[in-house]
Amino acid sequence: MRSHTWTGALAAHARGGSAAFGGWLRTPSGVLVWRSAERVGDVTLRQAVDRGVSALLRVGLAHRASAPQVAIWPEMPLRSGKALIQQAEDAEAVALAESVLPPPPEFAAAGIEMIEPGHYIAHESKDYQVWTRLGVCSCPAFTFGATRTCNHLKAARAVERHVG
């Protein structure tokens, strides 16, 4: 028997005086109808979660979803007559929330800027594109010495380990 339950996840994260939320919503058949990440500024995690829940529920109402089951992170007591709220961490929602925040201070000094998960720009005398999922960098050290990992790729992977 097929489920009639809509599912979703929402996560909030804060760094550098800024908070953000990330989340997604799927139909009972598994079709993704909403995936979003938004930086909401200098607010508490609770306020970021509340804004994310509001955004998710607006999309749910627009699609006439009935009481979606939503996993929220970090754990905090929430009540909603329009959704069944569960306290659980969802890796995709966490990654979405973190993707719109500034990099940790120790990596900002290194000149690594996250464009989206898996895609970075290394700022030096020139800017180089770094794709960690593909394991490539546009710098000359990588392009002409492809037998080793360049420092930009190492630094971008360190950012991912620290953030993820």
* Beta-bridge partners for 137: 130
pLDDT tens by residue, 60-70: 889 888 778 88
Give 30's DSSP letter. Answer: -
| Alpha-carbon torsion angle 146, 150, 153, 154, nearest 10 | 130
Every domain of the chain with CATH number 3.30.420.10 lies at 7-99
pLDDT at residue 36 is higher than 90: yes
pLDDT-derived band of residue 81, with 50, 70 and 90 as boundaries?
Answer: low
Query: What amino acid is encoded at 61 in this protein?
Result: L
In this structure, CATH architecture of domain 7-99:
2-Layer Sandwich (3.30)
pLDDT score, position 1: 41
CA–chain centroid gap for 71, Å, is 15
Q: Indicate the SS3 state at residue 86.
A: strand
Tell me the whole-structure pTM to 2 decimals: 0.61
Backbone angles phi, psi at 7, to 5 degrees: -125, 150
Mean pLDDT of the chain: 82
